[in-house]
C-alpha cells in the first residue's frame, strides 16, 4: 500500500470525514477588462477525482491558481470545509491542506532534488536550522512512491524533463495534503511513468484525499475521473459523473461543436524520397539509425522519453552534429553545420520545448512569427512592420489564432494559441521537410484536431513530415509508418495497418527493465580521489598555480611572509565584499553600488571615530554598518517595490552615494594621526600569527555558510534566483527575500568599509573607487551565476584569491602597468575557460548517465 508521505490510516479516516474539503463558489476572476473566469462553482470531494476539462484559455489554470492561493478571486470565494476563506498566498493554501502540481513545474534547476521537494516547508532541527536527515528520509520515501530512482542529492537540472515532472509530483506528495490538484501532470511523462502516477492516485483515493485532475488526454481523463467538470469561455458548462458523460459529449461541451474526426482519413500516395539517414549516431543520444522519408509521408518516431527521438531531430536540423553516419537530401549527402544550413535546405523543426526553445515569451506575436524570415521583413537592413505582417498574416489566419493584435505579447496567449504561433512561424519558411516534436503537447482536443487536420493537409500537398509524439493514439492515427526507438537504438518499424498500441509499447520497452537497472547502476556517483577535477573550483586553483609558480621562480618574494600577509589582508576585504555581491547575484540581481557603499561607510566611520575618539571602535563599526544597511535597504526597496531592474537602480545609487560622500567630505582627508591607535590596530593585530581582519573575514564566511546552506531562508534565496515565478507558486516571498539580500549586502558593505578605514588609515571621498568591478569579477569568476540561483562560498574565496594572486604576481615581476590590465583580463578568461570546459565535461557525463 502506498501512502501520502507520512499519512497514516487514522489520519486518513479523519480526512475522509470531510465530504467537501475545498470548493469554488461563484468564483470570478478578471484581469483588467478581461474576464478569465465567470461564476464558476464546483466542489472537490474526499476520495474522488474531479477532472477539469476545457480548451486552452477556457479558464482551467485560473481555477487551479484560485484554489492554490496564487490568485485572489475578483468575485465569489473559495470554501474550505464549508467556510469561506481568503488565500493571500500559496503558503495559505498549503496551510489549508491543498497541494498543487502546476502545469509548468515550479522547480529549481540549480538546487538538489531533495531541496526541490521540501522548499517552502523544510523540516527544522532543534536549533532552527534545516533538518537534512529528515529531508533526505522524506525525499527518498516520496521518490520511491512516484517511482523515480535517482539520488535525492542530485542537482535537478541534470534530470530529464519527465524525471523533473516526477519530482514535481513527489513535492506535492511531501506536503501530506488532503487536497491534491494536478494541472497537466502527465504532459512530459512516459506511459510507464503515467501508470505509476495513476497507481499513486488510486492509493490516495483510498486514503480519502480529494483530487482534481486537469488534462487534455481523453483516455486518461475517462480512466482516472469520478466526475467531470467542463469549462468553456470561462464558464462552467456542467459537472457530471463520468458514467453519465460520454467522450463525444464531453468534447462537444468543451468546444461548443461536434468534433467528428480527431485523426483525419488520409489516402494520398507518397512521392519521391526526400530525406534519408544512414548509420546516423550521436554520442549519448542514439546509435546507427537508418530512416527514409518520402514526400507526402508522415513518419512517426515512437519510444519512451529519453529514447533518442528528440536527439535525432536535433541532428537532422543541424543543432547537434552527428558522430557517424550521413544525411542525404534528394539522394545527395549533406552536412549541416548549423540550423541555418538545415533551413537553407528547407527543413523546419518545431521543438517540444515551446516556451524555452520555440518562442521568445516577452516578444510580440508578430516578432515571434517573423523570426525565421526576418531577412525578408528587413529589406536593405530596415525592418518594416507592414512587410512583416504581410509575411505571416496568412499562416496565422489559417491557424485560427485567437489574439487581440499582432503586438500582443505571446506570453499572454493560451498554450494552444502559442503552439499555433510556433507552427505558423515555421510553415512560413515553406519547408519541404517538417519535423514536429510533440506538436500537440499541452493543447486542448479542439486545437489538437485542428493541428492534425493541418498535418494531413500539408502531407497531401507533398510535404514530408516527421512526427514525434508520446501519445500512442496520435502516432497510430496520424502516421504512415512508425519507427520505434529504445535507449537510442531502433527496435521496430510498423506500417499504418500493422501498428497497435500494444506492439509499439512492447518495442519501446522490451528488455527495458534490465537495461534500466544497468543504466542506473552505471549512473551511480562514484566518488574518488579525482572527483575534485569535476568541480568548477579546480579551474580557479589551476589559474592561481599557473601564475604563482613561475612568479615565485622569478621573484621568491611571492611567498615571503610579508607578501603573504599583505595578500591575505587584501583578500579578507575582497571576500567580504564578494560575499555581499553573491547574496544579491543569487537572487538574479546585481549591486553596482557596492564600492560606493564601502567608500561612504568608510568615510562616515572614520569621521565618527575622529569626532568621538573615546568610542572609537564601537561607534566606527556601528556607523559603518548602519550606513551600509540603510543603503542596501534603499536599493532593495526600489528594486522590489518599484519593479525597476537592479542594474538601473544600483547604477543610479552608485552615483548618488558617491556624490553624497563627496559633498560630506568637501575635499577633506582623514589621516592616520586624526583617529585613535585602537581604531588602526583593529585590523592589524594578530591572533596566533593571523591578522585580525582575516579572522573577522573567516567568521563572516562561517556565518554566511550557516545562512546560505543550513537555513531555509538561505535556500530560498537561491530558489528566488533560480526560478522566481516557481518560487512564488510554492509560497516563497520572493520580494522579501530580495530585500533581505540587498539589506545584508549593504550591511556587509558597511562592515567592509569600516575594515577598509582601519586597514588603510588615510580616508577620503575616493575610497574604493572602481572597486565594484573587482568585487563583481571575484564573484562571477568564482562561479556565482549572473542568471541567479547558483554559487558557493568556496568559489568566491578562490575567485578573490585568483584575482589578487594574478595582480600581485604580475606586480612582482614588474609587468608594465600599461600591460597589467590586459594580462589580468587574459588570465581571467583562461580561468573561466578551464572552468567552463570542466563543467561542460562533467555535465555531458551526467547527461549520458541520465539517459
DSSP string, 769-787: TTHHHHHHHHHHHTT--TT
For residue 166, what are the β-bridge partners? none
List, for residues 627-653, the tens digit of each pLDDT value. Answer: 999 999 999 999 999 999 999 999 999
Query: Rounded distance, CA 317 to CA 254, Å?
Result: 37
pLDDT at 521 over 60: no
pLDDT at 204 over 90: no
pLDDT at 256 over 70: no
In three-state form (DSSP H/G/I as H, E/B as E, the rest C), the secondary structure along 313-369 is HHHHCCCCCCCEEEEEECCEEECCCCHHHHHHCCEEEECCCHHHHHCCCCCEHHHHH
- The more confident residue out of 510 and 378 is 378
Query: Rounded distance, CA 116 to CA 164, Å?
Result: 10
The chain-wide mean pLDDT, for the chain, equals 84
pLDDT at 842 over 70: no
pLDDT at 379: 74
pLDDT at 385 over 70: yes
Query: Rounded distance, CA 544 to CA 567, Å?
Result: 13
Cα 626–630–634 angle (5° rounding)? 170
Query: Rounded distance, CA 187 to CA 194, Å?
Result: 9
Q: Comparing C-alpha atoms, which of 79, 72, 73, 11 is closest to residue 44?
A: 79
Q: Comparing C-alpha atoms, which of 283, 820, 782 is closest to residue 578?
A: 782
Average pLDDT over every residue of 798-807: 87
DSSP string, 207-230: TT-EEEEE-S-HHHHHHH-SEEEE
Average pLDDT over every residue of 592-596: 94
Q: Comparing C-alpha atoms, which of 533, 531, 551 is closest to residue 542?
A: 533
pLDDT at 846 over 70: no
Average pLDDT over every residue of 599-620: 90
Residue count (the chain): 851
Give Cα 230 distance to the centre of its chain: 32
What's this model's pTM, rounded to 2 decimal places?
Answer: 0.73
Q: Which three cell numbers stand for residue 526?
A: 562514484
pLDDT at 31: 82
List, for residues 177-201, the tens digit of each pLDDT value. Answer: 889 999 888 876 777 778 888 888 8
pLDDT at 673 over 70: yes
Query: Rounded distance, CA 690 to CA 572, Å?
Result: 11
3 state SS of 189: coil
pLDDT at 137: 92
Average pLDDT over every residue of 835-847: 57
pLDDT at 613: 87
pLDDT at 619 over 60: yes
Contacts of 270 (CB under 8 A, 6+ apart): 294, 295, 296, 297, 480
pLDDT at 447 over 70: yes
pLDDT at 321 over 80: yes
pLDDT at 123 over 70: yes
pLDDT at 843: 55
Average pLDDT over every residue of 52-64: 84
Average pLDDT over every residue of 458-464: 92
Q: Which three cell numbers stand for residue 823?
A: 594580462
Min mean pLDDT across 34-38, 171-175, 819-823 is at: 819-823
List, for residues 389-414, the tens digit of each pLDDT value. Answer: 888 888 888 877 877 788 888 888 87
What confidence tier does 706 reach under pLDDT thresholds 50, 70, 90? very high
The dihedral sign for the CA sequence 250, 255, 256, 260: negative
pLDDT at 531: 46
Average pLDDT over every residue of 327-341: 92
pLDDT at 14 over 90: no
Average pLDDT over every residue of 288-315: 89
The dihedral sign for the CA sequence 454, 460, 463, 466: positive
What confidence tier does 539 reach under pLDDT thresholds 50, 70, 90? low
Long-range pairs of 550-553 with CB within 8 A, sequence gap ≥ 24: 551/809, 551/810, 551/812, 551/813
Q: What percent of the chain has pLDDT above 70?
A: 88
Residue 66 has phi, psi (to 5 degrees) of -65, -45
- The more confident residue out of 608 and 1 is 608
Average pLDDT over every residue of 290-297: 94
Q: Comparing C-alpha atoms, which of 418, 416, 414, 436 is closest to residue 427?
A: 436
Q: Comparing C-alpha atoms, which of 402, 424, 412, 423 is closest to residue 364?
A: 412
What confidence tier does 685 reach under pLDDT thresholds 50, 70, 90? confident
What confidence tier does 42 reach under pLDDT thresholds 50, 70, 90? very high
Give every strand in the sheet of 75-80, ordered side by side.
34-44, 22-31, 75-80, 83-85
List, for residues 709-765, the tens digit of each pLDDT value. Answer: 999 999 999 999 999 988 888 888 999 999 999 999 999 999 999 999 888 888 888
pLDDT at 640: 95
Average pLDDT over every residue of 510-519: 41
Query: Rounded distance, CA 739 to CA 42, Å?
Result: 39
pLDDT at 378: 78
Average pLDDT over every residue of 209-225: 88
pLDDT at 514: 37
Amino acid at each position: 500500500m502506498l501512502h501520502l508521505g507520512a499519512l497514516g490510516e487514522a489520519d486518513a479516516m479523519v480526512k475522509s470525514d470531510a465530504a467537501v474539503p475545498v470548493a469554488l463558489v461563484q468564483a470570478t476572476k478578471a484581469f483588467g477588462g478581461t474576464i478569465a473566469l465567470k461564476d464558476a462553482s464546483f466542489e472537490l470531494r474526499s476520495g474522488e477525482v474531479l477532472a477539469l476539462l476545457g480548451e486552452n484559455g477556457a479558464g482551467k489554470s485560473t481555477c487551479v491558481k484560485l484554489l492554490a492561493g496564487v490568485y485572489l478571486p475578483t468575485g465569489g470565494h473559495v470554501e474550505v470545509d464549508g467556510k469561506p476563506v481568503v488565500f493571500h498566498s500559496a503558503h495559505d493554501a498549503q496551510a489549508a491542506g491543498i497541494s498543487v502540481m502546476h502545469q509548468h513545474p515550479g522547480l529549481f534547476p540549480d538546487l538538489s532534488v531533495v531541496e526541490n521537494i521540501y522548499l517552502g516547508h523544510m523540516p527544522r532541527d532543534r536549533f532552527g536550522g534545516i533538518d537534512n536527515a529528515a529531508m533526505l528520509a522524506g525525499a527518498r520515501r516520496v521518490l520511491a512512491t512516484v517511482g523515480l530512482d535517482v539520488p535525492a542529492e542530485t542537482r535537478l537540472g541534470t534530470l530529464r524533463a519527465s524525471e523533473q515532472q516526477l519530482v514535481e509530483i513527489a513535492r506535492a506528495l511531501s506536503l501530506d495534503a488532503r487536497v491534491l490538484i494536478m494541472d497537466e501532470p502527465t504532459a512530459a511523462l512516459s506511459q510507464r511513468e503515467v501508470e505509476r502516477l495513476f497507481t499513486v492516485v488510486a492509493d490516495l483515493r483510498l486514503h480519502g484525499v480529494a483530487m482534481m485532475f486537469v488534462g487534455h488526454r481523453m483516455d486518461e481523463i475517462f480512466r482516472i475521473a469520478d466526475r467531470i467538470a467542463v469549462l468553456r469561455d470561462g464558464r462552467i458548462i456542467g459537472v457530471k459523473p463520468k458514467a453519465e458523460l460520454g467522450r463525444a459529449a464531453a468534447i462537444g461541451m468543451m468546444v461548443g461543436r461536434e468534433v467528428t474526426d480527431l485523426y483525419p482519413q488520409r489516402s494520398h500516395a507518397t512521392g519521391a524520397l526526400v530525406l534519408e539517414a544512414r548509420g546516423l549516431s550521436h554520442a549519448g543520444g542514439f546509435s546507427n539509425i537508418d530512416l527514409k522519408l518520402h514526400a507526402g509521408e508522415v513518419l512517426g518516431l515512437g519510444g519512451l522519453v529519453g529514447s533518442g527521438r528528440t536527439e535525432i531531430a536535433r541532428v537532422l536540423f543541424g543543432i547537434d552534429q552527428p558522430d557517424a553516419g550521413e544525411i542525404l537530401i534528394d539522394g545527395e549527402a549533406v552536412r549541416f553545420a548549423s540550423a541555418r544550413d538545415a533551413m537553407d535546405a528547407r527543413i523546419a523543426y518545431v521543438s517540444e520545448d515551446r516556451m524555452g526553445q520555440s518562442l521568445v515569451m516577452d516578444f510580440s506575436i508578430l516578432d515571434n512569427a517573423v523570426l525565421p524570415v526576418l531577412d525578408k521583413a528587413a529589406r536593405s537592413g530596415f525592418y518594416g512592420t507592414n512587410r512583416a505582417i504581410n509575411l505571416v498574416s496568412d499562416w496565422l489566419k489559417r491557424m485560427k489564432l485567437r489574439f487581440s493584435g499582432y503586438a500582443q505579447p505571446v506570453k499572454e496567449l493560451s498554450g494552444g494559441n502559442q503552439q499555433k504561433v510556433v507552427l505558423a512561424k515555421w510553415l512560413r519558411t515553406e519547408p519541404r521537410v517538417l519535423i514536429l516534436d510533440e506538436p500537440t503537447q499541452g493543447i486542448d482536443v479542439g486545437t489538437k484536431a485542428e493541428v492534425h487536420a493541418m498535418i494531413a493537409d500539408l502531407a497531401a500537398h507533398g510535404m514530408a513530415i516527421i512526427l514525434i509524439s508520446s501519445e500512442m493514439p496520435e502516432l497510430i492515427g496520424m502516421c504512415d509508418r512508425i519507427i520505434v526507438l529504445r535507449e537510442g537504438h531502433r527496435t521496430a518499424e510498423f506500417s499504418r495497418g500493422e501498428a497497435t498500441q500494444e506492439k509499439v509499447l512492447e518495442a519501446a520497452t522490451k528488455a527495458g527493465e534490465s537495461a534500466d537497472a544497468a543504466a542506473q547502476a552505471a549512473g551511480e556517483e562514484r566518488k574518488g580521489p579525482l572527483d575534485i577535477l569535476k568541480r568548477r573550483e579546480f579551474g580557479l586553483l589551476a589559474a592561481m598555480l599557473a601564475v604563482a609558480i613561475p612568479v615565485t621562480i622569478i621573484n621568491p618574494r611571492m611567498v615571503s611572509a610579508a607578501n603573504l600577509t599583505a595578500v591575505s589582508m587584501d583578500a579578507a576585504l575582497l571576500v567580504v565584499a564578494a560575499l555581499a555581491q553573491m547574496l544579491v547575484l543569487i537572487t538574479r540581481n546585481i549591486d553596482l553600488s557596492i564600492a560606493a557603499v564601502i567608500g561612504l561607510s568608510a568615510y562616515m566611520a572614520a569621521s565618527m571615530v575622529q569626532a568621538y575618539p573615546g568610542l572609537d571602535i564601537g561607534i566606527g563599526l556601528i556607523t559603518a554598518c548602519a550606513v551600509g544597511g540603510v543603503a542596501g535597504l534603499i536599493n532593495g526597496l526600489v528594486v522590489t517595490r518599484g519593479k525597476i531592474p537592479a542594474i538601473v537602480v544600483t547604477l543610479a545609487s552608485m552615483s548618488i552615494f558617491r556624490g553624497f560622500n563627496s559633498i560630506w567630505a568637501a575635499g577633506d582627508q582623514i589621516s592616520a594621526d586624526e583617529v585613535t591607535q585602537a581604531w588602526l590596530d583593529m585590523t592589524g593585530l594578530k591572533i596566533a600569527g593571523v591578522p585580525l581582519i582575516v579572522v573577522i573575514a573567516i567568521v563572516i564566511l562561517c556565518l554566511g555558510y550557516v545562512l546560505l546552506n543550513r537555513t531555509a531562508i538561505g535556500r530560498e534565496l537561491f530558489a528566488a534566483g533560480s526560478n522566481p515565478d516557481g518560487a512564488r507558486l510554492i509560497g516563497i516571498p520572493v520580494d522579501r527575500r530580495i530585500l533581505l539580500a540587498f539589506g545584508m549586502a549593504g550591511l556587509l558593505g558597511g562592515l567592509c568599509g569600516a575594515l577598509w578605514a582601519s586597514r588603510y588609515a588615510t580616508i577620503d571621498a575616493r575610497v574604493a573607487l572602481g572597486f565594484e568591478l573587482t568585487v563583481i569579477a571575484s564573484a562571477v569568476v568564482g562561479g556565482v551565476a549572473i542568471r541567479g540561483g547558483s554559487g558557493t562560498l568556496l568559489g568566491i574565496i578562490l575567485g578573490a584569491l585568483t584575482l589578487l594572486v594574478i595582480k600581485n604576481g604580475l606586480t612582482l615581476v614588474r609587468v608594465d602597468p600599461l600591460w597589467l590590465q590586459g594580462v589580468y583580463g587574459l588570465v581571467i578568461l583562461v580561468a573561466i575557460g578551464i572552468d567552463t570546459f570542466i563543467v561542460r565535461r562533467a555535465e555531458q557525463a551526467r547527461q549520458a548517465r541520465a539517459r
